[in-house]
Amino acid sequence: MTDQRQSLLLKERPTGMPSAKNFTLATDAIPAPGAGEVLTRTLYLSIDPYMRGRLSDRKSYAPSVQIGEVMTGETVGEVLASNDPGFVPGDILVGPRGWSTHIVSKAEGLTKLTGTLAPLSTYLGVLGMPGVTAYYGMSDIGQPKAGETVLISAASGAVGSVAGQLAKRAGCRVVGVAGGPDKCLYVQEQLGFDACVDHHAGDLDAQIADACPKGVDVYFENVGGAVQEAAFKALNFFSRVIMCGMVAQYNDTEFRPGPNLGFVVAKRVKIQGLIVFDKPERYGEWRALAAPWILDGSFRYRETIVDGLENAPEALSLVLSGGNFGKMVVKVA
Protein backbone atom coordinates (compact mmCIF):
# COMPACT_ATOMS: atom_id res chain seq x y z
CA MET A 1 0.00 0.00 0.00
CA THR A 2 1.41 3.32 -1.08
CA ASP A 3 0.10 6.71 -0.03
CA GLN A 4 -0.87 7.60 -3.57
CA ARG A 5 -3.63 6.39 -5.81
CA GLN A 6 -4.35 6.67 -9.48
CA SER A 7 -7.70 7.46 -11.05
CA LEU A 8 -9.03 8.00 -14.53
CA LEU A 9 -11.03 11.20 -14.83
CA LEU A 10 -13.20 12.14 -17.76
CA LYS A 11 -11.34 14.88 -19.64
CA GLU A 12 -13.74 15.43 -22.53
CA ARG A 13 -16.82 13.75 -23.93
CA PRO A 14 -15.91 11.41 -26.78
CA THR A 15 -17.46 11.83 -30.20
CA GLY A 16 -17.93 8.33 -31.56
CA MET A 17 -15.60 5.71 -30.10
CA PRO A 18 -14.03 6.64 -26.74
CA SER A 19 -10.26 6.34 -26.30
CA ALA A 20 -7.52 7.09 -23.79
CA LYS A 21 -7.31 10.70 -24.92
CA ASN A 22 -10.76 11.33 -23.43
CA PHE A 23 -9.42 10.57 -19.94
CA THR A 24 -6.80 11.99 -17.59
CA LEU A 25 -4.76 9.63 -15.41
CA ALA A 26 -4.56 11.58 -12.16
CA THR A 27 -2.61 10.87 -8.98
CA ASP A 28 -3.62 12.04 -5.53
CA ALA A 29 -3.29 10.97 -1.91
CA ILE A 30 -5.32 7.97 -0.81
CA PRO A 31 -8.13 9.46 1.28
CA ALA A 32 -8.97 8.13 4.73
CA PRO A 33 -12.46 6.72 5.23
CA GLY A 34 -14.90 8.93 7.14
CA ALA A 35 -17.72 7.79 9.40
CA GLY A 36 -19.62 4.86 7.88
CA GLU A 37 -17.13 4.67 5.03
CA VAL A 38 -14.85 1.94 3.74
CA LEU A 39 -11.47 2.22 1.99
CA THR A 40 -10.66 -0.49 -0.53
CA ARG A 41 -7.96 -1.19 -3.01
CA THR A 42 -9.35 -2.16 -6.38
CA LEU A 43 -8.58 -5.67 -7.57
CA TYR A 44 -10.74 -5.87 -10.69
CA LEU A 45 -12.63 -3.27 -12.65
CA SER A 46 -15.56 -4.17 -14.89
CA ILE A 47 -15.81 -2.86 -18.46
CA ASP A 48 -19.30 -2.89 -19.92
CA PRO A 49 -21.09 -1.48 -22.97
CA TYR A 50 -23.48 0.62 -20.86
CA MET A 51 -20.51 2.81 -19.89
CA ARG A 52 -20.69 4.54 -23.25
CA GLY A 53 -23.92 6.14 -22.09
CA ARG A 54 -22.23 7.55 -18.99
CA LEU A 55 -19.71 9.36 -21.18
CA SER A 56 -22.44 11.11 -23.12
CA ASP A 57 -24.50 14.06 -21.99
CA ARG A 58 -27.49 12.60 -23.79
CA LYS A 59 -30.30 12.13 -21.24
CA SER A 60 -30.41 8.52 -20.12
CA TYR A 61 -31.59 6.33 -17.29
CA ALA A 62 -28.60 7.21 -15.11
CA PRO A 63 -26.63 10.43 -14.65
CA SER A 64 -23.72 11.11 -16.96
CA VAL A 65 -20.20 11.28 -15.58
CA GLN A 66 -19.24 14.93 -15.47
CA ILE A 67 -16.03 16.34 -16.92
CA GLY A 68 -13.29 16.06 -14.28
CA GLU A 69 -15.05 13.27 -12.38
CA VAL A 70 -13.75 9.75 -11.88
CA MET A 71 -15.28 7.41 -14.44
CA THR A 72 -17.94 5.17 -12.94
CA GLY A 73 -17.87 1.37 -12.93
CA GLU A 74 -18.24 -1.77 -10.85
CA THR A 75 -15.22 -3.13 -9.02
CA VAL A 76 -14.13 -5.99 -6.83
CA GLY A 77 -12.02 -4.60 -4.00
CA GLU A 78 -10.25 -5.58 -0.82
CA VAL A 79 -10.97 -3.62 2.33
CA LEU A 80 -7.93 -1.74 3.70
CA ALA A 81 -9.70 0.25 6.38
CA SER A 82 -13.29 0.47 7.52
CA ASN A 83 -15.40 2.73 9.70
CA ASP A 84 -18.43 0.58 9.18
CA PRO A 85 -19.18 -2.37 11.45
CA GLY A 86 -20.05 -4.55 8.46
CA PHE A 87 -16.54 -4.58 7.00
CA VAL A 88 -13.05 -5.34 8.29
CA PRO A 89 -9.68 -5.18 6.52
CA GLY A 90 -9.20 -8.15 4.23
CA ASP A 91 -12.87 -8.43 3.31
CA ILE A 92 -13.55 -8.82 -0.40
CA LEU A 93 -16.44 -6.79 -1.72
CA VAL A 94 -18.16 -5.89 -4.93
CA GLY A 95 -20.01 -2.71 -5.68
CA PRO A 96 -20.50 0.26 -7.96
CA ARG A 97 -17.29 2.21 -7.51
CA GLY A 98 -15.13 3.75 -10.23
CA TRP A 99 -11.95 3.77 -12.26
CA SER A 100 -9.51 4.21 -9.41
CA THR A 101 -6.89 2.10 -7.64
CA HIS A 102 -8.25 3.04 -4.22
CA ILE A 103 -11.78 3.99 -3.38
CA VAL A 104 -13.48 5.41 -0.32
CA SER A 105 -17.21 4.92 -0.31
CA LYS A 106 -20.21 4.54 1.96
CA ALA A 107 -20.69 0.96 3.10
CA GLU A 108 -24.24 1.08 1.77
CA GLY A 109 -24.37 -0.47 -1.70
CA LEU A 110 -21.28 -2.62 -1.14
CA THR A 111 -21.69 -6.40 -1.01
CA LYS A 112 -19.28 -8.52 0.99
CA LEU A 113 -18.44 -11.78 -0.75
CA THR A 114 -18.51 -14.69 1.66
CA GLY A 115 -18.42 -18.48 1.60
CA THR A 116 -16.48 -20.42 -0.99
CA LEU A 117 -15.63 -17.83 -3.57
CA ALA A 118 -15.50 -18.34 -7.31
CA PRO A 119 -12.61 -16.56 -9.06
CA LEU A 120 -12.95 -12.91 -8.06
CA SER A 121 -13.25 -11.57 -11.59
CA THR A 122 -16.43 -13.61 -12.08
CA TYR A 123 -18.27 -11.33 -9.64
CA LEU A 124 -18.08 -8.68 -12.35
CA GLY A 125 -19.12 -11.01 -15.14
CA VAL A 126 -20.94 -14.29 -15.03
CA LEU A 127 -21.82 -13.83 -11.34
CA GLY A 128 -22.07 -10.04 -11.56
CA MET A 129 -24.05 -7.42 -13.38
CA PRO A 130 -24.02 -9.08 -16.84
CA GLY A 131 -24.97 -12.46 -15.40
CA VAL A 132 -27.83 -11.01 -13.38
CA THR A 133 -28.97 -9.08 -16.45
CA ALA A 134 -29.24 -12.29 -18.45
CA TYR A 135 -30.95 -14.11 -15.60
CA TYR A 136 -33.48 -11.36 -14.97
CA GLY A 137 -34.19 -10.91 -18.68
CA MET A 138 -34.69 -14.59 -19.28
CA SER A 139 -36.73 -15.32 -16.19
CA ASP A 140 -38.94 -12.23 -16.19
CA ILE A 141 -39.33 -11.29 -19.86
CA GLY A 142 -38.18 -14.13 -22.12
CA GLN A 143 -39.67 -17.01 -20.14
CA PRO A 144 -38.43 -19.63 -22.60
CA LYS A 145 -40.30 -22.91 -22.65
CA ALA A 146 -38.86 -26.30 -23.52
CA GLY A 147 -38.85 -26.84 -27.26
CA GLU A 148 -38.87 -23.16 -28.14
CA THR A 149 -36.12 -21.50 -30.17
CA VAL A 150 -34.10 -18.77 -28.46
CA LEU A 151 -31.86 -16.42 -30.43
CA ILE A 152 -29.11 -14.55 -28.57
CA SER A 153 -27.11 -11.67 -30.03
CA ALA A 154 -23.58 -10.96 -28.80
CA ALA A 155 -23.72 -14.60 -27.83
CA SER A 156 -20.10 -14.94 -26.74
CA GLY A 157 -20.36 -11.85 -24.58
CA ALA A 158 -20.84 -11.53 -20.87
CA VAL A 159 -24.63 -11.29 -21.03
CA GLY A 160 -25.32 -13.42 -24.08
CA SER A 161 -23.29 -16.38 -22.90
CA VAL A 162 -25.29 -16.57 -19.69
CA ALA A 163 -28.63 -15.99 -21.41
CA GLY A 164 -27.97 -18.81 -23.84
CA GLN A 165 -26.86 -21.30 -21.24
CA LEU A 166 -29.98 -20.55 -19.22
CA ALA A 167 -32.12 -21.18 -22.29
CA LYS A 168 -30.33 -24.50 -22.84
CA ARG A 169 -31.12 -25.45 -19.26
CA ALA A 170 -34.76 -24.60 -20.02
CA GLY A 171 -34.76 -27.16 -22.82
CA CYS A 172 -34.72 -24.76 -25.77
CA ARG A 173 -33.00 -24.79 -29.12
CA VAL A 174 -30.47 -21.99 -28.63
CA VAL A 175 -28.89 -20.08 -31.50
CA GLY A 176 -26.24 -17.41 -31.03
CA VAL A 177 -25.17 -14.50 -33.17
CA ALA A 178 -21.48 -13.59 -32.85
CA GLY A 179 -18.77 -11.89 -34.88
CA GLY A 180 -16.33 -14.21 -36.59
CA PRO A 181 -15.58 -17.94 -36.68
CA ASP A 182 -13.61 -18.06 -33.40
CA LYS A 183 -16.48 -16.66 -31.39
CA CYS A 184 -19.00 -18.85 -33.20
CA LEU A 185 -16.93 -21.94 -32.51
CA TYR A 186 -16.70 -20.99 -28.85
CA VAL A 187 -20.45 -20.39 -28.65
CA GLN A 188 -21.22 -23.82 -30.04
CA GLU A 189 -18.43 -25.95 -28.62
CA GLN A 190 -17.86 -24.37 -25.22
CA LEU A 191 -21.18 -22.76 -24.39
CA GLY A 192 -23.17 -25.59 -25.94
CA PHE A 193 -25.47 -23.53 -28.18
CA ASP A 194 -27.09 -25.54 -30.96
CA ALA A 195 -25.93 -23.17 -33.68
CA CYS A 196 -24.25 -19.82 -34.14
CA VAL A 197 -24.73 -17.22 -36.87
CA ASP A 198 -21.63 -15.23 -37.85
CA HIS A 199 -22.71 -11.66 -38.47
CA HIS A 200 -19.47 -10.99 -40.31
CA ALA A 201 -20.36 -13.66 -42.85
CA GLY A 202 -23.20 -11.84 -44.61
CA ASP A 203 -26.86 -12.67 -45.38
CA LEU A 204 -28.10 -12.64 -41.83
CA ASP A 205 -31.67 -13.38 -42.92
CA ALA A 206 -30.69 -16.64 -44.57
CA GLN A 207 -28.31 -17.66 -41.80
CA ILE A 208 -30.94 -17.08 -39.13
CA ALA A 209 -33.60 -18.89 -41.16
CA ASP A 210 -31.26 -21.87 -41.53
CA ALA A 211 -30.37 -21.93 -37.86
CA CYS A 212 -33.94 -21.37 -36.66
CA PRO A 213 -36.11 -23.55 -38.92
CA LYS A 214 -39.08 -23.13 -36.57
CA GLY A 215 -38.59 -19.36 -36.21
CA VAL A 216 -37.61 -17.47 -33.08
CA ASP A 217 -39.70 -17.51 -29.90
CA VAL A 218 -37.36 -15.50 -27.70
CA TYR A 219 -34.81 -12.97 -28.93
CA PHE A 220 -32.28 -11.59 -26.47
CA GLU A 221 -31.22 -8.24 -27.92
CA ASN A 222 -27.79 -6.91 -27.07
CA VAL A 223 -26.71 -5.25 -30.29
CA GLY A 224 -29.40 -3.57 -32.42
CA GLY A 225 -28.62 -2.55 -36.00
CA ALA A 226 -28.56 -5.12 -38.79
CA VAL A 227 -28.72 -8.07 -36.41
CA GLN A 228 -31.89 -6.71 -34.86
CA GLU A 229 -33.44 -6.17 -38.26
CA ALA A 230 -32.76 -9.77 -39.28
CA ALA A 231 -33.78 -11.23 -35.93
CA PHE A 232 -37.09 -9.38 -35.91
CA LYS A 233 -37.99 -10.86 -39.29
CA ALA A 234 -37.66 -14.36 -37.83
CA LEU A 235 -39.90 -13.75 -34.81
CA ASN A 236 -42.77 -16.14 -34.27
CA PHE A 237 -46.28 -15.39 -33.18
CA PHE A 238 -46.33 -14.70 -29.41
CA SER A 239 -42.57 -14.22 -29.30
CA ARG A 240 -40.76 -12.17 -26.66
CA VAL A 241 -37.91 -9.74 -27.24
CA ILE A 242 -35.69 -8.91 -24.28
CA MET A 243 -34.30 -5.47 -25.02
CA CYS A 244 -31.09 -5.43 -23.05
CA GLY A 245 -28.85 -3.24 -25.16
CA MET A 246 -28.05 -1.98 -28.63
CA VAL A 247 -24.27 -1.73 -28.54
CA ALA A 248 -24.07 -1.39 -32.34
CA GLN A 249 -25.32 2.17 -32.03
CA TYR A 250 -23.81 3.40 -28.79
CA ASN A 251 -21.25 5.47 -30.66
CA ASP A 252 -23.72 6.80 -33.20
CA THR A 253 -24.35 10.51 -33.10
CA GLU A 254 -27.72 10.03 -34.82
CA PHE A 255 -29.84 6.94 -34.36
CA ARG A 256 -31.04 5.15 -37.47
CA PRO A 257 -34.77 4.40 -37.77
CA GLY A 258 -36.03 1.12 -36.40
CA PRO A 259 -38.52 -1.46 -37.59
CA ASN A 260 -42.04 -0.67 -38.61
CA LEU A 261 -44.00 -2.11 -35.69
CA GLY A 262 -46.90 -3.60 -37.64
CA PHE A 263 -45.52 -7.07 -36.95
CA VAL A 264 -45.87 -6.49 -33.21
CA VAL A 265 -49.63 -6.39 -33.63
CA ALA A 266 -49.95 -9.12 -36.23
CA LYS A 267 -47.68 -11.52 -34.35
CA ARG A 268 -48.60 -10.42 -30.81
CA VAL A 269 -44.97 -9.82 -30.00
CA LYS A 270 -43.83 -8.47 -26.65
CA ILE A 271 -40.79 -6.18 -26.74
CA GLN A 272 -39.59 -5.15 -23.31
CA GLY A 273 -36.58 -3.25 -22.05
CA LEU A 274 -34.70 -4.06 -18.89
CA ILE A 275 -31.97 -2.52 -16.83
CA VAL A 276 -30.65 -4.69 -14.09
CA PHE A 277 -30.09 -1.82 -11.67
CA ASP A 278 -33.86 -1.83 -11.14
CA LYS A 279 -33.61 -5.20 -9.44
CA PRO A 280 -30.80 -5.15 -6.87
CA GLU A 281 -32.46 -8.06 -5.09
CA ARG A 282 -31.74 -10.33 -8.05
CA TYR A 283 -27.97 -10.14 -7.57
CA GLY A 284 -27.90 -12.27 -4.44
CA GLU A 285 -30.49 -14.63 -5.88
CA TRP A 286 -28.38 -15.17 -9.00
CA ARG A 287 -25.09 -15.57 -7.15
CA ALA A 288 -26.63 -18.18 -4.86
CA LEU A 289 -28.02 -20.05 -7.84
CA ALA A 290 -25.05 -19.87 -10.19
CA ALA A 291 -21.93 -19.85 -8.00
CA PRO A 292 -22.16 -23.63 -7.55
CA TRP A 293 -22.43 -24.04 -11.33
CA ILE A 294 -19.26 -21.99 -11.75
CA LEU A 295 -17.43 -23.93 -9.05
CA ASP A 296 -18.45 -27.32 -10.48
CA GLY A 297 -17.66 -26.24 -14.04
CA SER A 298 -21.14 -26.91 -15.42
CA PHE A 299 -21.67 -23.29 -16.42
CA ARG A 300 -19.13 -21.81 -18.82
CA TYR A 301 -17.77 -18.30 -19.08
CA ARG A 302 -14.91 -16.54 -20.76
CA GLU A 303 -13.09 -13.39 -19.74
CA THR A 304 -10.60 -11.06 -21.34
CA ILE A 305 -8.49 -9.66 -18.55
CA VAL A 306 -6.48 -6.53 -19.32
CA ASP A 307 -3.70 -5.50 -16.94
CA GLY A 308 -3.49 -2.02 -15.48
CA LEU A 309 -6.01 0.71 -14.75
CA GLU A 310 -4.50 2.92 -17.45
CA ASN A 311 -5.74 0.46 -20.08
CA ALA A 312 -9.40 0.77 -19.11
CA PRO A 313 -10.28 3.23 -21.92
CA GLU A 314 -8.80 0.94 -24.56
CA ALA A 315 -10.67 -2.00 -23.01
CA LEU A 316 -13.92 -0.05 -23.26
CA SER A 317 -13.28 0.72 -26.89
CA LEU A 318 -12.74 -3.01 -27.56
CA VAL A 319 -16.04 -3.86 -25.89
CA LEU A 320 -17.87 -1.29 -27.97
CA SER A 321 -16.38 -2.55 -31.23
CA GLY A 322 -16.76 -6.27 -30.49
CA GLY A 323 -12.98 -6.61 -30.28
CA ASN A 324 -13.18 -8.35 -26.90
CA PHE A 325 -13.99 -12.00 -26.32
CA GLY A 326 -16.24 -12.73 -23.36
CA LYS A 327 -16.45 -10.53 -20.31
CA MET A 328 -13.93 -7.66 -20.28
CA VAL A 329 -12.24 -7.05 -16.94
CA VAL A 330 -9.31 -4.83 -15.99
CA LYS A 331 -6.96 -6.26 -13.37
CA VAL A 332 -5.99 -3.26 -11.30
CA ALA A 333 -3.94 -4.91 -8.53
Q: Which residues bind its own copies (CB under 8 A)?
A: 53, 60-61, 224, 228, 237, 243-246, 249, 255-275, 278
Cβ–Cβ under 8 Å, residues 90 and 122: no
Name the minimum Å distance from CB 238 to its own copies. Answer: 8
Q: Which CA distances in Å does 77 have to 21, 51, 80, 162, 167?
A: 26, 19, 9, 24, 32
Nearer to its own copies among residue 250 and residue 286 (C-beta)? 250
Which segments of 85-215 are extended strands (E)? 92-96, 102-106, 111-112, 149-153, 173-178, 195-198
Name the minimum Å distance from CB 281 to its own copies. Answer: 16
Question: What are the residues whose beta carbons fall under 8 Å from the beta carbon of 221, sequence distance 6 or more?
Answer: 153, 228, 231, 241, 242, 243, 244, 245, 246
Name the minimum Å distance from CB 94 to its own copies. Answer: 24
Q: Count CA within 13 A, CB hemisphere, residue 186.
A: 19
Name the minimum Å distance from CB 273 to its own copies. Answer: 4
Name the minimum Å distance from CB 87 to its own copies. Answer: 32
Nearer to its own copies among residue 59 and residue 116 (C-beta)? 59
Nearer to its own copies among residue 21 and residue 256 (C-beta)? 256
Question: What are the residues whose beta carbons fall under 8 Å from the beta carbon of 102, sequence distance 6 or more?
Answer: 5, 30, 31, 39, 40, 41, 42, 80
Nearer to its own copies among residue 56 and residue 304 (C-beta)? 56
Which segments of 182-255 are extended strands (E)? 195-198, 216-221, 235-243
Nearer to its own copies among residue 43 and residue 159 (C-beta)? 159
